[in-house]
């Protein structure tokens, strides 16, 4: 990872403004630069999206028949990726809101990226459900004929609220930084781009009244968004747990899903941070300390996941019904065993080991562990959906499901959309919470360094 500068170099008395200016330049730099690799990356992602749209058009024309879903296994790759993406979106909530509420100041440089992952993942996940509906017009039916007794409606409510809240939560703390862009980039970027900065900085001048409003808004949102996020993934789990399915009939499903969401959210954040910090040369701000702390969070989440697995499967397995046995046999021994055990060892045990040892607890080690976690968590969503539906409700042959090329293509497009939106965001918007970092830097400069900090320097 090249030379990694540890915590920000602080030189008492040699001018905070130099530090501030350098930070400004670092954050503004991506906006002005666009290499060949970057363009290729965008073209590649766009191509995947175009291909996915084409695949989707065959589905709109011929119906869900073109997917592998049939009457007995009626959910598949689409719903799995919906749950997966909504899960990823919990990155922002945990890192940003929980750590903000608990006053953990190390989070400041990574909040913006976490919050943007939230919004982008929510948009992608929401689209996956609409794709799963078959005809997009069915969404309209949800408004016209929706029943609030249905968990699907709760899901729609929860996600609508979550999307609104997290867009706000991304935007509000970004206002002072957009004002920075507005002031520093006037005439240096295309007019329309500057206009966007100007509109969405809402006339921010940094005066006392504005700071008061900003703080008020952020505090309200940070507190509000935690229960919303928890409710979202709980409700997502309820669209499973509220139906009569053997494998989904679980009281810890909500808890299980929320934990899984936070787990995969942290992994996504680690991976995105590693890429962003390298690409935009932000090693000075996003340090190995951040990765270490995120690693501990990842470890904790993995432990809780292990515990949930034990709690769920041992309770049920101890007095398993015939249906439970069918589900367990398929999950642990036959049909889905490779998926399950990859998830167990690759996605839960392996990351724990990586974080546990100091030698591997670094950026590269954590990135690899995070990649495993993401794949494993996707697989978990997949076997929860498909293995659950495979257990016959009546004495008929268990049905099979395999995604068709249409489903794979649409899923690929979803992934590409996620990456594309994230790429565009990091290119055009401030990836660091500049004003907050400055404030903290100032505060740190204002007091005598403690022994601990002095050692760090």
Partner 1 sequence: MSCQPAIRRQRPFTLVLAMLIAVVGIAGGLSSPALAATIGVDAPAETTVGETVSVSATISDADGPIVGADVAVTRLAAIGGTSGFVELDRGVTDESGVVEFEFVQNADSSETAQMRIEYDGPDGIEAEEFEMVVRPGPQQRSGSAGLDMGFVNVGWLFVVLALVWGVLILAVYQLVAISRANDGPGQPLSLAPYAMVTFVLLTAVGMFVVIARQPTTHANLTPNESFNRSPDAIVGEEYDYLGYRDENTPRPDDLGGQALYVQNGCAGCHGPSGGGAMAGGELTDATMSDREEVVEAIRRGPKGMPTYGGEVLTDVEIDRMIEYVLDANGD
For position 149 contacting partner 1 by CB under 8 A, the verdict is: yes
Which span sits near partner 1 by CB under 8 A: 28-36, 92-100, 149-157, 337-345? 149-157
Which residues make Cβ contacts (< 8 Å) with residue 128, sequence separation at least 6?
A: 78, 79, 81, 82, 85, 410, 411, 414
Using the minimum distance from each CB to partner 1, give the nearer residue, 389 or 419: 389
CB 323, min distance to partner 1, A: 19
For position 229 contacting partner 1 by CB under 8 A, the verdict is: no
115 touches 166 (CB < 8 A): yes
CB 240, min distance to partner 1, A: 19
For position 400 contacting partner 1 by CB under 8 A, the verdict is: no
Q: How many CB atoms lie within 10 A of CB 354?
A: 25
Q: Tell me how far apart the alpha carbons of residues 406 and 58 are, in angstroms, rounded to a whole number.
A: 8
For position 165 contacting partner 1 by CB under 8 A, the verdict is: yes
For position 102 contacting partner 1 by CB under 8 A, the verdict is: no
CB 77, min distance to partner 1, A: 18
For position 164 contacting partner 1 by CB under 8 A, the verdict is: yes
Q: Tell me how far apart the alpha carbons of residues 407 and 386 are, in angstroms, rounded to a whole number.
A: 14
Q: Which two tokens stand for residue 362?
A: 């670094």
Q: Tell me how far apart the alpha carbons of residues 445 and 15 are, in angstroms, rounded to a whole number.
A: 10
Residues 39-68 that bind partner 1 (CB under 8 A): 61-63, 65
Q: How far is CA 267 from CA 223, 262, 365, 376, in A?
A: 23, 9, 12, 11
Burial letters for 17-43: b for 16+ Cβ neighbours within 10 Å, e otherwise? eebeeebbebbbebbeeeeeeeeeebe
DSSP 8-class letter at 248: G
Phi, psi angle pair for 393, to nearest 5°: -85, -25
CB 203, min distance to partner 1, A: 3
Per CB under 8 A, the list member of 205, 315, 349, 364 interacting with partner 1 is: 205
Per CB under 8 A, the list member of 4, 10, 185, 224 interacting with partner 1 is: 224
Using the minimum distance from each CB to partner 1, give the nearer residue, 221 or 377: 221
Using the minimum distance from each CB to partner 1, give the nearer residue, 208 or 450: 208
Query: Which chain residues interact with partner 1 by CB under 8 A?
Result: 61-63, 65, 70-71, 135, 137-138, 141-143, 145-150, 153, 157, 160-161, 164-165, 168, 171-172, 175, 195, 198-205, 207, 209-210, 213-214, 216-217, 220-221, 224, 228
């Amino acid at each position: 990872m090249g030379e990694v500068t540890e915590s920000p170099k602080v030189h008492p008395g040699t001018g905070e403004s130099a530090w501030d200016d350098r930070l400004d330049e670092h954050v503004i730099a991506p906006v002005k630069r666009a290499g060949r690799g970057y363009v290729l990356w965008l073209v590649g992602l766009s191509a995947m999206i175009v291909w996915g749209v084409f695949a989707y058009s065959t589905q709109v024309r011929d119906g869900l028949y073109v997917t592998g879903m049939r009457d007995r296994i009626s959910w598949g790759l689409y719903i799995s990726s919906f749950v997966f993406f909504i899960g990823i979106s919990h990155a922002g909530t945990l890192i940003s809101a929980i750590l903000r509420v608990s006053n953990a100041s190390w989070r400041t440089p990574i909040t913006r990226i976490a919050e943007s992952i939230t919004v982008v993942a929510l948009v992608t996940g929401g689209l996956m459900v609409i794709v799963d509906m078959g005809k997009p017009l069915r969404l309209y039916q949800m408004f016209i004929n929706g029943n609030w007794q249905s968990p699907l409606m709760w899901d729609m409510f929860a996600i609508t609220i979550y999307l609104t809240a997290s867009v706000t939560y991304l935007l509000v703390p970004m206002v002072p930084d957009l004002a920075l862009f507005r002031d520093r980039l006037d005439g240096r970027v295309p007019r329309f781009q500057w206009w966007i900065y100007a509109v969405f900085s809402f006339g921010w001048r940094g005066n006392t009244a504005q700071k008061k409003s900003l703080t008020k808004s952020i505090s309200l949102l940070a507190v509000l968004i935690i229960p919303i996020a928890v409710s979202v993934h709980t409700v997502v789990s309820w669209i499973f747990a509220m139906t009569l399915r053997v494998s989904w009939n679980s009281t810890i499903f909500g808890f299980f899903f929320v934990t899984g969401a936070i787990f995969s959210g942290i992994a996504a954040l680690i991976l995105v941070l590693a890429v962003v910090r390298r690409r935009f040369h932000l090693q000075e701000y996003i340090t190995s300390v951040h990765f270490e702390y995120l690693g501990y969070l990842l470890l904790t989440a993995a432990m809780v996941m292990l515990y949930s697995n034990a709690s769920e499967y041992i309770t049920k397995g101890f007095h398993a019904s015939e249906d439970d046995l069918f589900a367990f046999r398929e999950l642990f021994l036959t049909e889905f065993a490779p998926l399950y055990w990859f998830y167990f060892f690759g996605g839960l045990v392996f990351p724990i080991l990586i974080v546990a040892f100091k030698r591997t607890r670094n950026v590269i080690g954590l990135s690899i562990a995070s990649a495993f976690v993401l794949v494993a968590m996707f697989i978990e969503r997949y076997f929860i959906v498909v293995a659950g539906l495979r257990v016959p409700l009546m004495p008929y042959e268990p049905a099979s499901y395999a995604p068709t090329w249409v489903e794979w293509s649409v899923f690929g497009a979803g992934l590409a959309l996620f990456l594309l939106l994230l790429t565009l965001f990091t290119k055009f918007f401030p990836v660091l919470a500049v004003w907050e970092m400055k404030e903290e830097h100032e505060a740190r400069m204002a007091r005598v360094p403690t022994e601990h900090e002095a050692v760090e320097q």
